Structure 1
Amino acid sequence: MSRQENFRTKIIGGEFKGKFIEIPNIFTTRSSKGILKESLFNTLQFDIIDKNFVEVFSGSGSIGLEALSRGAGQCYFIEYNKIAYRVLQQNIRELDPSRCHHMLGDSFEKFETVLDMLKNSDEKTYFYFDPPFSTRDGMDDVYDKTIALIEKIDASKCEMVIVEHMTKLDMPKEIGELEQVKRKKFGRSTMTYYIAKERV
């Protein structure tokens, strides 16, 4: 069987603007659409500088590496697919490995490891969740499990949580100590934003 070529996408802003990163040509990895990515970083703007950024279901890392390019201090990636993970490692090597932490494994199992790593950080953290769409076999409870992960986040350490999800899904107004502040629709995908309640 011949090896399928990877897709390529560009970093759209910041220090590494114009640099290409690879996206594996496999079913489990959906590249976040350019318009969606642009909207996300227009929302975050310069607030992201020096903050931590966690891409929980990272694939090839296109969102977290965009955050890195725009000045995020430390970026964390979790990916369970070995092919996507190898591409992620390569993308990190091409940009700035010194500010990146990556782990291979199930995001639902490894998330607490990342939370432990962040406990001693003086900077607050952005969390980006883009779970596999639940139309796939065995993924019916993916959003319930994702919400359970968000409930584990310490609001005092959290700058913002962003969830990319199917538009037909209504995310809760509150998750743990966090409250929904924005919802933006892009066709089949929607991004919902949360911040700590006391900041609303």
Structure 2
Amino acid sequence: MAIKPLFTTISAGKYKGKKIMLPSLDSTRSTKAILKGSLFDSLQYDIVDEVFVEVFGGSGSMGLEALSRGAKQAYFIEKDRAAFSVLKNNCKEIDEKHTTPLQGDSFLLFPTLLSTLTCKAYFYFDPPFSIRNGMEDIYQKVLDLIALIPPQMAHLIVIEHMSSLVLPEVIGVYALHKTKKFGNSALSYYRSNEN
């Protein structure tokens, strides 16, 4: 029996109702609709004409939602080949012109991507949860990546993580602004003290 593909939909904006195919749950974990809704309710019109970077791309649902709500460009990094194939297809189906999907390890590609950005961006980090095999130090590696972002390059940094994980109050020049929990997942928002 063929495996039925899984989909999520864009919830608001110019691409509202468009379907986004989800990769296999073996390789990625999709973001809950309630969590996505909360993030974009927080951002509202702030992301209009801004750049959105989804550092662990998966299906690209967050970046594509950002584009639908008025962001001018979305960048995605995804390591898993099958997930990247789905991501690339989703970008092509929804807004090929304003999406840049990159295949590779986020920890290697992100510094390069960061050096090519010419304006401030919104950064979304949704790493694989650390309960997965081989991911025990994932959050520390993510915190190290965030510390590399110059304050003049970030409007906001959002981390999706396990609710049970307490993230530091400060990462480099970024201070924890708020954390919202949604069952097993949570969103933590960081802003630069220099903004």
**Does TM, scored on the shorter chain, surpass 0.5?**
yes
- Give yes or no for contact 2:55–2:110 (8 Å, CA) kept in 1: yes
Q: 1:156 aligns with which of 132, 152, 159?
A: 152
* 1:194 to 2:190 alignment: yes
Which whole-Å CA distance do the structure 2 matches of 1:60 and 1:22 have between them?
Answer: 7
Q: What are the residue-to-residue correspondences of 1:27-46 with 2, within 5 Å? A: 27-46=26-45
- Output one character per residue of 1:50-87: Cα deviation in whole Å (capped at 9) or x when no partner: 11100000101011110111111111000001111011
What SS does structure 2 have at the residue aligned with 1:180? Answer: strand
Structure 2 letter corresponding to 1:89: K
Paired letter, 1:117: T
**Aligned partners of 2:151 and 2:194 also within 8 Å:** no
Is residue 21 from structure 1 mapped to residue 23 from structure 2 by the alignment? Answer: no
Q: Distance in 1 between matches of 2:93 and 2:172?
A: 37
- DSSP-derived class of the 2:41 partner: helix
For 2:133, give the aligned amino acid: D
Matching of residues 174-193 of structure 1 within 5 Å: 174-193=170-189
What letter matches 2:96 in structure 1? Answer: P
TM-score (norm 2): 0.97
Match of 2:162 in 1: 166
Q: CA deviation at 1:98?
A: 1.0
Q: Percent identity?
A: 49
In structure 2, C-alpha distance between the alignment counterparts of 1:28 and 1:82, rounded to whole Å? 9
- Matched residues, number: 195
Aligned to 2:114: 115
The superposition leaves residues 107-141 of structure 1 with CA deviations (integer Å, 9 ceiling, x where unpaired) of 111101210121x23xx200000000011111100
DSSP-derived class of the 2:194 partner: helix
- Aligned partner of 2:101 in structure 1 is 102
The gaps in structure 1 that reach 5 residues or longer are none
> Following the alignment from structure 1 to structure 2, what is the Cα–Cα distance between the partners of residues 135 and 81?
18
Mapping for residues 82-101 of structure 1, pairs under 5 Å: 82-101=81-100
Over aligned residues, Cα RMSD in angstroms? 1.0
- Structure 2 stretches of 5 or more lacking a match? none
Equivalent position SS for 1:37: helix
Identify the range of structure 1 (24-33 vs 109-118) with the bigger mean alpha-carbon deviation.
Answer: 24-33
SS at match of 1:194: strand
Q: Matches of 2:148 and 2:96 in 1, distance apart?
A: 27
Q: Deviations over 1:15-50 (max 9, x none)?
A: 100111100223121110000000000000000001
1:183 aligned counterpart, secondary structure: strand
Contact 1:5 1:25 in 2 (8 A): no
CA distance in structure 1 between the partners assigned to 2:86 and 2:133 by the alignment: 24
Separation of aligned partners in 2, 1:17 and 1:128:
21
Q: So what's the TM-score if we normalise by structure 1?
A: 0.95
